Amino acid sequence: MLFILSFFIGENVFLKELKIEESKKANFLDIVYERPLMMKFYLITDSSLMFNDSSYVLMFNYYKNYVNIKYLPYEEFYSRVITPTSTSVIYENKRVEYLIGQTILGIGLYSWSLPVFIFPENYEDAEIAIATGLTFPLIYFLGNFFITGHLNIPSSQAYASFLGGVSGAVHGYFLFIDTRFIFPFSISENFIDGYLCRKNGISMGVYQNKFNHNIYGYYHYIITKTLFTDKFDLTKKDYSISSILSLIEGYLNLFLFKDEKNITLGDALFELRATALGSEFIPALLWTYDNFNNYDLSARLYAGSSILGHIAGYYIGRRLTMKNDISFVTSALTYLIPALAHLFTAGVGQLLGKDYFRVYPTIFITTDIGLTYLVYRSFKDFGVETSRNASKKLRLGFNLTPEFNNNKIYLKPSLNILFNF
């Protein structure tokens, strides 16, 4: 409440004065103050006031410094609004998070990949190349800082720009097996992915699905080649083709599901986790069998069983997330489970001796799957707010009460908060 009070005081909305000319009272009145470029708060309000003679109604919409006033006959107003309502929507501004992600990329990735991209390998003046790399992160930070100064950055844009920079670096390197292409591909996917999320209103969950399919693209190519060649080895050409497939799968998925609103970031991360478990399950059992039979199973058998498990894991993960929303923290917890399973399996192995390690893959994968399902059952729908359930729990009402004095309207705000359980 103190925060809300500070916001009202800081924005000077306790007393907004609007002058209305007498000659315009019979018509719609559109009084527009300067529209703010930086929209940290976006308030939509429908309010009404009936005059003493009960023949006219003053309707107005208000957000920050923008006011739209309509002067309507009461009959027309009543035909439009049967039950007057007051709602508000507060949009997030993740500019700080965006800057953090871009700064990490600038320091950790662009500081060395930019000089590699600009200067040839045998460039004589190494000091210039080094100075370029050392100074660019600050220049990049300041550029993003001032460019986004008047923008409202949604969380999906901040998230997509950062992950786009990471995936772009991977694509650039493996497409050519050359570090010179890391910077241009990274910076390109960084801005393209952020722009697509901003323009199309793509959620973080949908973008994470795109990133998942970037990973699946590499996996699908490797498995397909292994099925045909019965070998796991990859050439430079294989890395290039798999990178192209990764790009295609990722952006195709983003295009097909860009309007999906009911998938959370936690859902997408959990689906990736379930798919990985499915891909590993049968190969882990085969590996255990191989440990007792002189490793006579073919690579083709491993690949075929992995792709079957991959399909099953993807389907199960999707079904579970459709049934229950998964929060980000719950999904993050499932990514710690493999470490727990490895440590547990290795610890038991120290007690039981060398022969135990032949069954290590089976013990590990069953422990991993069991713990993952335990976490899912315990924390499904924990801390999740989506379009499916958020509106049931909290409603914000924002009212502006008009006061008249000498043909002036004074708008005084009040905030109503309603919790539904």
Q: Sort 209 into a burial class: Cβ within 10 Å, 0-12 / 13-18 / 19+.
A: buried
Tokens encoding 247: 């790009």
pLDDT score at 387: 43
Residuewise pLDDT in 10s, the chain (421 residues): 344 334 333 433 333 333 333 333 333 233 333 333 332 333 333 344 444 444 555 555 444 444 455 555 555 555 544 433 333 334 467 899 999 999 999 999 999 999 999 998 777 778 899 999 999 999 999 999 999 988 889 899 999 999 999 999 999 999 999 999 999 999 999 999 999 999 998 999 999 999 999 999 999 999 999 999 988 889 999 999 999 999 999 999 999 999 887 888 999 999 999 999 999 999 999 999 999 888 889 999 999 999 999 999 999 999 999 888 898 999 999 999 999 999 999 998 888 877 888 999 999 999 999 999 999 999 886 655 444 444 444 444 444 445 445 544 455 454 444 444 3
User: Quick check: 201 and 157 in contact, CB under 8 A?
Assistant: no
pLDDT score at 293: 87
β-bridge partners, 68: 61
β-bridge partners, 419: 394
Domain regions of the chain by residue span: 2-91+393-419, 100-262, 266-385
**Backbone phi, then psi, for 29, in 5-degree steps?**
-110, 120
Buried b (16+ CB within 10 A) or exposed e, 178-197: eebbbbebbbebbeebbebb
β-bridge partners, 394: 419
Cβ neighbours of residue 130 closer than 8 Å, sequence gap 6 or more? 115
pLDDT score at 384: 54
